[in-house]
Amino acid sequence: MIEFIFMLTKDDRTIVDATEVLDSIADSGLRYVGFKDVGADPARQREITVRAHDLGMEVMLEVVSTSAEAEANSVRSARAAEVDWVLGGTNPEAGTQILAGTDIRYCPFPGTVTGHPSVLSGSIDDIAASAASLSGMEGVHGVDLLTYRHAEADPEKLTHAVVAACDGPVIAAGAVVTRDQINLLNRSGAWGFTIGSAIFNGQLPGAPSVPAQVQTVLGWLEDS
């Protein structure tokens, strides 16, 4: 079954009340939670991580900074916060060096990723080739694919091609809103997907309640 990562983020920024939201979903059965490097300083990152670990969840930090220096600082902060996964980023050589010697699973962006919020561009073949190259690097666990943030590529063909090329888990991040999108990612072989803004914007059944929307997604997965 595909995995759901609930991102404590809106518009590619970590929300202010992340720990309070975590407490509201403590009994949901959610296994994975994440947040962004933007919107949370190192102390806040550590606070969120500790609270999520206390609740039995694995923690993912997604790097969406747009400069190499800011990205490196974010990966260092993720290491200091002792998250379980680092997602995103476009400088894998630096990322793997910073995370060397840890058990943190590193899944950078394949393809050409620009801007904030992050956008993916390039042909499906080029993105798949990028995923293959990344997953062959020592210290890279998988990739963080912006399936639904590509303006032109067919999402099913894109995800399937990257899954076939990647030696590791493919996490689909960004702009997932509907059950049909999740079903597409599941049949395309993605290991997991993230949802953040859609829940905080109240776009899923159960809105405006955040816990109810999280339960909606978990229910979809149980029925799939």
Residue 127 pLDDT level (bands cut at 50, 70, 90) = very high
Domains in the chain (CATH in brackets) are 3-223 (3.20.20.70)
Q: How many C-beta atoms surround the C-beta of residue 3 within 10 A?
A: 15
Average pLDDT score over the chain: 95
pTM above 0.85, yes or no: yes
d(CA 102, CA 124): 32
- Element holding 170 (H helix, E strand): strand 170-172
Q: What is the predicted pLDDT for the residue at 156?
A: 96
Q: What is the predicted pLDDT for the residue at 117?
A: 78
Q: What is the predicted pLDDT for the residue at 65?
A: 81
d(CA 90, CA 182): 25
